[in-house]
A = this chain, B = another copy of it.
Amino acid sequence: MTSLNPADSRPLYQQLAAALRDRITSGDLQPGARFPSEADLASQYDTSRNTVRLALDALRNEGLIVSQQGRGTFVRSAPPTRYYASLTGSRAQRLEAERQRDTFTQQIERQGRTARQVSTVEVVPADAEIARHLNMSAGTTVAVRRRVMYADNEPLQLGDSYYPIDIVQDSKIMNPADVVEGTDQVLEDLGHTPTRYEDEITWRMPTVDEVAKLHLGPGIPLGRLLRTSFDQNDLPIEVYVVLLPGDRHVLLYEVEA
């Protein structure tokens, strides 16, 4: 039995969580390694299984461990950051790639994975946020193209694109089929060339719906990127909102001083 420091006034389960966290970060328990069972930990640290579970809850919420009913608990293997670099800055040599930012497929296949998308198109009234970014009044009808994007048949991100209805009416964008040349190209063909983007990045915990749709594990937050595209006349022509699970993404920006 390994005892915890009695001078420590923190709750037992927090002390236990800290001790176990150390065993992970110190390398005593390697990524992928099997964790001692709850019963083992309870007897090792001379406490109850209940308290052990409270400690494990904390580690689970930090994303350090994962549990599987019937199999055991394991140290999460090296952050599965599958790494999807999505956004470049303004350097000249990135221009060509940037023109194809909407072709999610290319980005994934460049990483040697198979991409798949499921799209739907709707016409809905704009909520306050979308309307503000498109510089219209709330409730104005807009076209929205909703996509679920998969890599290797695992859901990777959820993306909704909003367009003023008068711009995309009767265009390819209203067709749920994949737009292989990228929506930016379509917008350019319609006389609205995207020349500038404004990005807002926030992060929060997912709702239950999002957990189901994105196959999220516990303790995985969502990043949210809202990108507003402006055309050659500096008019907003698209609002793109994408939700990115924190265990699979890194956003990259390059900024000139």
Query: Of B88, B195, B200, B256, which one neighbours A195 at CB under 8 angstroms?
Result: B256
> Is A1 in contact with chain B by the CB < 8 A criterion?
no
> Is A196 in contact with chain B by the CB < 8 A criterion?
yes
Closest to A18 in B: B208
> Is A138 in contact with chain B by the CB < 8 A criterion?
no
What 1/0 flags go to A61-88 for Cβ under 8 Å of B? 1110000000000000000010000011
Interface contact B62-A207, CB-CB below 8 Å: yes
Complex formed: what's the CA distance from A208 to B254 in Å? 32
The number of chain A residues with a CB under 8 A from chain B is 47
**Protomer copies:** 2
Interface contact A256-B201, CB-CB below 8 Å: no
Complex formed: what's the CA distance from A62 to B250 in Å? 22
29 contacts between A and B (CB under 8 A): A18-B208, A21-B207, A61-B205, A62-B204, A62-B205, A63-B204, A81-B202, A87-B255, A89-B89, A90-B255, A95-B257, A194-B257, A195-B256, A195-B257, A197-B257, A198-B255, A199-B253, A199-B254, A199-B255, A200-B250, A200-B251, A201-B201, A201-B250, A201-B251, A201-B253, A202-B246, A202-B249, A205-B219, A221-B246
Query: Of B63, B201, B208, B253, which one neighbours A198 at CB under 8 angstroms?
Result: B253
